[in-house]
Amino acid sequence: MTHRPSQKVSAERRQSNVFNEERSLAMEHIYPMKHKRKNIVYIINNFIFGHGERKGSVVDEESLTKTFTNLSFDVQSFQNKTRADMVNLLENVSRDIHKDTDCFVCVILTHGEEDMVHGTDGPVEVTKLLAPFKGDRCPALAGKPKLFFIQACRGKQFDDGADALSVKNDGPEDDEDEMDVKDETVTFRIPRNADFLVAYASVRGFYAWRNEKDGSWFIQALCKVLEEHGQTLDLMTMLTRVNHTVAFDYSSKGKIKEKKQIPCITSMLTKDVFFRKT
């Protein structure tokens, strides 16, 4: 049977309409990244404390700067801030951030405990650092991803690990390891706490490990995965790969041997995050 030209054109049009509809539905579940303005990364690196230096943290800062710059972020770094400084920095950027910014990232490198991170003069609650970016306080980022990555201990427990079948552990040989988130304007209501993600280096109650020469396990794994897949995979998939890397490729050496670590992701995201232009 021979198709007439009009029938062929009609079939192609229907196929195109189906494709466009499927693409439109898929895009509804992805945060827009139009890149009208460079997205922002704040790195707060507290490494000088009265009881000593967090060696290796500068390596993390350098790795993060390189990685996020390659992903077309505007990276701004701050060192050795008090808890009041940390709060003020984030309150200021939440007020000043431009409405054309698609995404905000904050990385905190410091000491910590459970639900707190340390300024150079003492602890501050993580929730206090997130609060300025809630939808009712930062309209420019309402409905947009706010991503926090925290390299800090969350307690004093060690993870001794557990035996599992077919698990290969050939982590890097290293020196002494240390312990340590057509334009149309449409208004709609969202939860104030929506669109946050907080990725911790370890689960609550446990140490987060850092190497004096090579940096922390979590941050180095994060940078490696972002460098390899930042233009292709969504964030949650990448963070799962970060978890895998930290869990299977690292093990403590030095004085306290064969301890393990698993990062912890708390997500209030409502869509997929891709760092490429969408």
- What is the rounded average pLDDT of the residues 126-155? 96
To the query of whether residue 153 is one of the catalytic residues in this protein, the response is yes
106 is catalytic: no
Q: Which domain holds residue 214?
A: 35-181+192-267
Look at residue 86 and give its three-state secondary structure. Answer: helix
**Which is higher by pLDDT, 162 or 31?**
31
CATH number of the domain to which 85 belongs: 3.40.50.1460
Q: How far apart are CA 166 and CA 156, in angstroms?
A: 29
Residue 164 belongs to some domain of the structure = yes
227: in domain: yes
Can you give the pLDDT at residue 18? 44
Q: Is residue 22 part of a domain?
A: no
* pTM of this structure: 0.83
Of all helices (H) and strands (E), which one includes residue 79?
strand 73-79
- Selecting among 103, 106, 153, 223, the annotated active-site residue is 153
Residue 23 domain flag: no
Q: Which of 103, 106, 111, 223 is catalytic?
A: 111
Please check the confidence at residue 9 and state whether its pLDDT lies above 70: no
For the chain, what percent of residues have pLDDT higher than 90?
71
Judge whether 132 lies within some domain.
Answer: yes
pLDDT of 168 over the 50 cut: no
Query: Does residue 198 lie within any of the structural domains?
Result: yes
Residue 1 included in any domain: no
Whole-number mean pLDDT of the chain? 87
pLDDT of 164 strictly over 80: no
CA–CA dist 213, 224 (Å, integer): 16
Other C-beta atoms closer than 10 Å to the C-beta of 10 total 12
Residue 44 backbone dihedrals phi, psi, to 5 degrees: -110, 110
Residue 126: what pLDDT? Answer: 97
Q: How many folded domains does the chain comprise?
A: 1
